[in-house]
Structure 1
Amino acid sequence: MAALTGYLETMSALGGDARPLLKEQGLAPDLLINPEQLIPARSAIRLLERSAEVTGCITFGLRMAENRTLANLGATSLLIAHQPTLRKSLETLREFRTRINSTLVLQFEEIGDEVILREDFYLSRPEPWRQSSDLALGVLTKLCAAAVGESWKPLAVCFTHDAPPLAEQQIYARVFGCRPQFDSEFNGVVLSARDLDRPNTKADDQLAHHARQLLEQVMDPVERTRAEEVEQLIKLLLPSGRASVQICAASMGMTVRTMQRALDAEGESFTSLLNRARMQLATQYLANPRMRITDIADMLGYSSIGAFSRWHSQVFGVPPRMIRVGGRKAKLKPASGCSDSDTSSP
């Protein structure tokens, strides 16, 4: 569940011990390394409230939101990021909300020149959710800024809870860039109606189509081999930097050892699948002239262009810039003859 991304780091920064609180809610620390892992919503909501209580930090949820990026939404982040407008991004977020947080419902209504984005938790029994609400609105605001432009700020952000002490209000300005309104009738973000259809300059319809295909393949109940399942997960998780063997195994409900044994039985390995996925995506991304090589390196899990170039030269026989500048097609070398030693950890 992406809702707990950054939880351990926030607890550590506040000098708190997360272990007893996780145990209290029946959660294992290992569950938090994988944003695709489903966690009971009630447990997550209670965990954040108890953490705020134990640390004495009433802005605990906002502190988690402050360090979030769009990639923390998990496998859907690539699809959301490359929608042509904020309206389309929000519609996509609602379409795939069950993969992110099935209890958090997003609604938006246009009233004249303004739009209200409301977020509410729907639980069978009411729970205090101040921290979860602050976190959700912080993440929603960052999503809007990613689609409209990093300099974008909402007209207002409204909270049904009361105002925190003055000493804790500075973080609201940092996260939202506007004065918050407390004791409101709803939890939500208010923005100009023009912002909904303002073009997203970073949008790429090819990448959006690619991301949707991958998501639909993963969600498709058609029976696949373990190797095929792992390869699809790698392609989904690479752009957000989480295509590690640990996260892929957790996403499939397995231990690393169990997944490796399953791949061994099919004559595959995680390293070979990772390299194969990188080869396919590198070819596809480099064929897209709108994508910078720096961005491609990052999306394939490399910490620098140099590391990406060395890997590309080993696999395809030429550096990636030669593909772009000369437009020549490099002959693929067999994957078994390639070394992945220059890659950074995903």
Structure 2
Amino acid sequence: MASVIRVTGAWTGLLKDWLDQQKLEAETLRPQLARWSTQDNVPVEVWRRMLADGLALARHRPAPELEVGACVTPRHVGVLGYLVLATDTLGEAMLAYQRYETLFYGTSLAEIGNTESEAEIRWPASDNELGQQADGVAIAALVTFLRRQIDQPPPPSGISFLHDVDSQTARAYETFFGCPVTWNDRYVRVRFPLEYLGLPMPRRDPTLRRLLDRQARAMLQALPQSSESDRQMQRVVLRMLSDGEPTLARAAAAMHMSPRTLQRRLARHGLSWQQWLDRSREQLAHQYLEDPSLTLADIALLLGFSEQSAFNRAYRRWTGRSPGRDRRQGFTG
């Protein structure tokens, strides 16, 4: 399958953070990382080359790419990390990753499959593939990301890669992941026992917690003097926004009530569904614009718009200004 893959500039920050952690000067590499860190699109061959140059500084240790992946934080994966961490279970997190993977790699590659006993997320070989070192970083980051969110996380039941490595490196991989690792597979795979899909995601990450706190403040501004049932409605809408199509009928179904009942609840606040949706989106937009790690395209996605231009038009209708202007001038109120 031919796919044009790239990574985001934020992802290159993994390598910089690892260099800092290892106290490696990397005088020729650091300017390259600084240059690409602000770019939305980093060609995969550029990422492979910079990664190889960085890892060459640690030849004395097997599989240093796993150490790079273990440096992962939400800021390295941007809005994709927020969307995954805001899910309730590991199964939902896998589906969210698959749905929004294009934000990270520029294309959708991940497949999710189940057997009677296992679930797996897998990536097929590509003409523009990442290569073993970059694949190792990516899977180490994925597993580390989940380990940090789940209480007493169980190891995967198996992991596979496309290429082969020497025996010392293979042992380092099995030690890091705590499970069997297969080489020369047709896919890069991460497998879990099927029951793990129901494991809760407790949202322990402090970066995510700050985002969720901002969301909560924004929703309170959109619907002051909220009751507990109103706050339930707010949580439902927040989730629907990232899924797209936040309609009255879908919100009512998620809250186990009829659309007419939901309309009556909103009418107590003097609002129609569309008025409350617009007010919620506007308040959330103000909060998101304060986060420099979110692009305008990311914000449009978080607000449930199909494209950035639709968000731009809506924001201008709400405020009489463009979101880019408000971000540049630091005015988001």
TM-score bracket, shorter-length normalisation: 0.5 to 0.7
Question: Does the C-alpha gap of structure 1 residues 100 and 8 become closer, same or farther in structure 2, counting only changes over 3 Å?
Answer: same
What's the CA shift for 1:97?
1.3
Amino acid at match of 2:56: E
* Aligned mates of 1:136, 1:91 — CA distance in 2: 17
Report Cα offsets for 1:283-322 as digits up to 9, x if no partner: xxxxxxxxxxxxxxxxxxxxxxxxxxxxxxxxxxxxxxxx
Partner residue of 1:235 out of 282, 287, 298? 287
What's the CA shift for 1:141?
1.7
Partner residue of 1:47 out of 47, 50, 55? 50
What's the CA shift for 1:173?
2.6
User: Aligned with 2:190: secondary structure?
Assistant: strand
Report Cα offsets for 1:98-128 as digits up to 9, x if no partner: 21112562112112201222134634x5x56
In structure 2, the gaps of 5 or more residues are 1-7, 205-211, 213-231, 246-281, 300-320
* Aligned mates of 2:140, 2:41 — CA distance in 1: 21
Report Cα offsets for 1:58-100 as digits up to 9, x if no partner: 5232111112134532123222212232222222112211211
* Aligned mates of 1:201, 1:54 — CA distance in 2: 37
**Does 2:79 match 1:75?**
yes
User: Aligned with 1:117: secondary structure?
Assistant: strand
Report Cα offsets for 1:159-197 as digits up to 9, x if no partner: 3333456388447534x2334344445321121011123
* Aligned mates of 1:113, 1:167 — CA distance in 2: 29
**Does 2:15 match 1:7?**
yes
Partner residue of 1:140 out of 126, 139, 142? 142
Amino acid at match of 1:82: A
Task: Work out whether residues 70 and 142 of structure 1, in 8 Å CA contact, stay in contact via their aligned partners in 2.
Answer: no
- Superposition CA RMSD, Å: 4.4
**Does 2:213 match 1:210?**
no
Question: Does the C-alpha gap of structure 1 residues 104 and 12 become closer, same or farther in structure 2, counting only changes over 3 Å?
Answer: farther
Task: Work out whether residues 64 and 135 of structure 1, in 8 Å CA contact, stay in contact via their aligned partners in 2.
Answer: yes
Task: Work out whether residues 173 and 181 of structure 2, in 8 Å CA contact, stay in contact via their aligned partners in 1.
Answer: no
Question: Which residue of structure 1 aligns with residue 249 of structure 2?
Answer: none
Amino acid at match of 1:92: A
* Aligned mates of 2:327, 2:202 — CA distance in 1: 40
Task: Work out whether residues 4 and 44 of structure 1, in 8 Å CA contact, stay in contact via their aligned partners in 2.
Answer: yes
Task: Work out whether residues 83 and 208 of structure 1, in 8 Å CA contact, stay in contact via their aligned partners in 2.
Answer: no
Identity of aligned residues (%): 13
Task: Work out whether residues 49 and 128 of structure 1, in 8 Å CA contact, stay in contact via their aligned partners in 2.
Answer: no
Question: Which residue of structure 2 aligns with residue 32 of structure 1?
Answer: 37
**Does 2:141 match 1:89?**
no
Partner residue of 1:157 out of 156, 159, 176? 159
Task: Work out whether residues 61 and 135 of structure 1, in 8 Å CA contact, stay in contact via their aligned partners in 2.
Answer: yes
* Aligned mates of 1:52, 1:68 — CA distance in 2: 16
Question: Does the C-alpha gap of structure 1 residues 43 and 148 become closer, same or farther in structure 2, counting only changes over 3 Å?
Answer: same
Amino acid at match of 1:189: V
Question: Does the C-alpha gap of structure 1 residues 111 and 215 become closer, same or farther in structure 2, counting only changes over 3 Å?
Answer: closer
User: Aligned with 2:72: secondary structure?
Assistant: coil
* Aligned mates of 1:47, 1:12 — CA distance in 2: 15
* Aligned mates of 1:267, 1:110 — CA distance in 2: 46
Amino acid at match of 1:195: Y
* Aligned mates of 1:136, 1:99 — CA distance in 2: 15
Question: Which residue of structure 2 aligns with residue 99 of structure 1?
Answer: 103
Question: Which residue of structure 1 aligns with residue 179 of structure 2?
Answer: 178
Task: Work out whether residues 79 and 212 of structure 1, in 8 Å CA contact, stay in contact via their aligned partners in 2.
Answer: no
In structure 1, the gaps of 5 or more residues are 218-229, 253-261, 277-346
* Aligned mates of 2:71, 2:289 — CA distance in 1: 19
Question: Which residue of structure 2 aligns with residue 192 of structure 1?
Answer: 193
User: Aligned with 1:160: secondary structure?
Assistant: coil
Task: Work out whether residues 22 and 29 of structure 1, in 8 Å CA contact, stay in contact via their aligned partners in 2.
Answer: yes
* Aligned mates of 1:50, 1:17 — CA distance in 2: 12
* Aligned mates of 2:103, 2:86 — CA distance in 1: 18
Question: Does the C-alpha gap of structure 1 residues 72 and 216 become closer, same or farther in structure 2, counting only changes over 3 Å?
Answer: farther
150-159 vs 164-173, which deviates more?
Answer: 164-173
User: Aligned with 1:67: secondary structure?
Assistant: coil
* Aligned mates of 1:163, 1:122 — CA distance in 2: 19
* Aligned mates of 1:149, 1:213 — CA distance in 2: 28
Amino acid at match of 2:192: L
